[in-house]
Structure 1
């Protein structure tokens, strides 16, 4: 194949303007594809963050409804459960409304047992556990706001108000800056007790329970056992895998995955038409040359191979450039919207999907020209010279 690269390259250079416009359309198509993949992962919470040994227990109706605090200890007693930890969404805002931060009130003593991928220096962990007003933050938001260990920051909530003064600001002291191996380094976590004892509404209620199980293969049975504990109660529960919980959280904004898939399909269909038209014109202009090639001994299959290779070459060039630009753009976008999406970046799997699309779209674009070229008789081709 590689010995024909000079020939393929020369063919692409015959009509440079046409080739450039076709290449540009392919670049734009794959650039949009890469950006949409980035957005899909960000808005669906990135399932890669989910632990295979974790379950989430929430209110049966919706995660925005709370559970009694007493449920936490009852869940811990279920057979197959290693430990469990509660979480509440705080709705954190720092200084200005545009500075929204993913802030959670957690059951601090059990948090690190459930999420062992979150690491702190021993002295910072101890300081966090001993101080109810302490908070730990991710390195990316610490860098963004120039926070350091020991700083006291006023965090506002767009959900909760304080019972003492009716305000919505909680002063918190940064006890440590954690490192999470799963990529979520833009959140902040503080003590549930601090929130519970000072908020004006719904005391002794929690948002959801994160459950760590001994055997992930038994997750379905353990989930049923947990839900059976609270069946027919005033507050029934729904327990699912952490991945399903993350997906459900994202679905509150609509089925983003289907919408982006539809848009990507429309973009690639348009690109396919453009590339197929380009290849069709190129073959019609080279009918005489195809006749000469067959005269020299090229078979119909050989000519077909060269046409497909040419289509894949131009699609590959445009696709790789587009995906490269998307990877660079996603980093810039991630910095701009870090307060809204804890994880934003083009997923590595996009490159693999992109290669498959390059081969598939290149082959489809060359399908009709290949059929025409393979059926072309030498006499007919030379007659059109």
Structure 2
């Protein structure tokens, strides 16, 4: 652009003001990038959910258990291909800060329910054969240096044993690397937990089932819940995506929160940029008049004013989102045990670019109108 040097020179006229405005824009887009990252981390698990899986929980709350006998009744529902139960273990490894996502599962059915979890057949067979066996995700195995054959003591912050202890020794018999799943979890046999826990015997946490026809998911869910209607333990069945999303919704509507905070930040930035551009145009009224005298059209002068607003906004957006991306990478490594899907979504860059263009355009609208309507004689008289 042949007028780029003029744009840059105008922005450097009041360097302190320009740099402070740029810094404000950088911080705004940095905050936007971090908010988008946390939104994706809190809700991203739903994107990994299987479209052909349903989850049945206690109607009152997830923390309420279900009778183990419910499992066979669910398996008998037409349209259910396979079903198994999970129990939340609440694992801690060595120290309280080493929280582990540990759950029970049925090794004979786990890979039918979750086909996206690859594991060599010999490791699957080892899990089925060893009552104390466990399979672990690649991420958590690398984090703690676990290897095949290691026996790890996992402490539960929920269950206690009949002998008063709360540590279960698990032998790692498999390490999975799911292409579209959580590689930060531990799964071990339900029977191993059930036979030794002091309370909750023959109870299960929730049921996960794969169905034959996703178009019938609502119908099958109603059928399952009807089996236990008016009983002492009624159920609520939903898609796995809705089940996962329910965890995030316990903290509120994450999307609405992010939108509200980002809107407030960007509205403030709109006022800041508009004020900067307004001051800049007022200070250069006589110069703009001289440019028109020299042959610059009203369109060219107005376009330059708008380009200044867009330049500083886009520059701040690029720097802010770049820093946010670096921060997201660091957060992903530091918090992978809590947020296995943490990372800045790719659509953040597109949204950020659109927001930056919109901010620059709106902030430059009034100064552009002033530049367009500027009368040469009136401007030079004021000078």
2:75 aligns to what? 76
- Of residues 337-346 and 145-154 in structure 1, the stretch that sits farther from structure 2 once superposed is 337-346
Contact 2:117–2:181 (Cα < 8 Å) also in 1: no
Displacement of 1:45 in angstroms is 5.0
Pairing of 1:240-319 with structure 2 (within 5 A):
240-295=238-293, 298-319=296-317
Displacement of 1:259 in angstroms is 3.3
1:18 aligns to what? 17
Contact 2:107–2:124 (Cα < 8 Å) also in 1: no
- 1:132 and 1:364 map into 2 onto residues whose CA distance is 65
Displacement of 1:195 in angstroms is 1.2
Pairing of 1:86-125 with structure 2 (within 5 A):
86-125=85-124
- 2:41 and 2:88 map into 1 onto residues whose CA distance is 18
1:220 aligns to what? 218
Tell me the C-alpha RMSD between the 2 structures: 2.0
- 2:4 and 2:310 map into 1 onto residues whose CA distance is 12
Displacement of 1:237 in angstroms is 1.2
Displacement of 1:302 in angstroms is 4.2
Displacement of 1:159 in angstroms is 0.5
2:63 aligns to what? 64
The reply to whether residue 32 of structure 1 matches residue 31 of structure 2 is yes
2:52 aligns to what? 53
Per-residue displacement from partner, 1:123-161 (whole Å, max 9, x unpaired)? 222212221211111111111111111100000111111
Where 1:311 maps in the other structure, the secondary structure is helix
Contact 1:31–1:326 (Cα < 8 Å) also in 2: yes
Displacement of 1:84 in angstroms is 1.9
Contact 1:51–1:242 (Cα < 8 Å) also in 2: yes
Contact 1:187–1:342 (Cα < 8 Å) also in 2: no
Displacement of 1:284 in angstroms is 1.4
- 1:74 and 1:123 map into 2 onto residues whose CA distance is 31
2:126 aligns to what? 127
Where 2:87 maps in the other structure, the secondary structure is strand
TM norm structure 1? 0.92
- 2:122 and 2:277 map into 1 onto residues whose CA distance is 66
Displacement of 1:374 in angstroms is 2.4
Per-residue displacement from partner, 1:238-277 (whole Å, max 9, x unpaired)? 1112221112112233444433333322222222222111
For the structure 1 residues 312 and 214, does the alpha-carbon distance in structure 2 shift closer, same or farther, using more than 3 Å as the test? Answer: farther
- 1:343 and 1:13 map into 2 onto residues whose CA distance is 42
Contact 1:183–1:343 (Cα < 8 Å) also in 2: no
- 2:45 and 2:274 map into 1 onto residues whose CA distance is 35
Displacement of 1:200 in angstroms is 1.2
1:340 aligns to what? 338
1:42 aligns to what? 41
- Of residues 30-39 and 212-221 in structure 1, the stretch that sits farther from structure 2 once superposed is 212-221
Contact 1:135–1:172 (Cα < 8 Å) also in 2: yes
2:183 aligns to what? 185
Per-residue displacement from partner, 1:45-70 (whole Å, max 9, x unpaired)? 53222222222211111111111222
- 2:374 and 2:129 map into 1 onto residues whose CA distance is 82
Where 1:109 maps in the other structure, the secondary structure is coil
- 1:244 and 1:203 map into 2 onto residues whose CA distance is 28
- 1:57 and 1:367 map into 2 onto residues whose CA distance is 55
Q: Structure 1 residue aligned with 2:193, among 190, 195, 200?
A: 195
Where 1:330 maps in the other structure, the secondary structure is helix
TM norm structure 2? 0.93
Displacement of 1:287 in angstroms is 1.9
- 1:160 and 1:154 map into 2 onto residues whose CA distance is 14
- 2:56 and 2:303 map into 1 onto residues whose CA distance is 56
1:208 aligns to what? 206
- Of residues 330-339 and 300-309 in structure 1, the stretch that sits farther from structure 2 once superposed is 300-309
Contact 2:88–2:205 (Cα < 8 Å) also in 1: yes
For the structure 1 residues 294 and 143, does the alpha-carbon distance in structure 2 shift closer, same or farther, using more than 3 Å as the test? Answer: same
- 1:201 and 1:218 map into 2 onto residues whose CA distance is 37
Where 1:366 maps in the other structure, the secondary structure is helix
Query: Unpaired runs of 5+ in structure 1?
Result: none
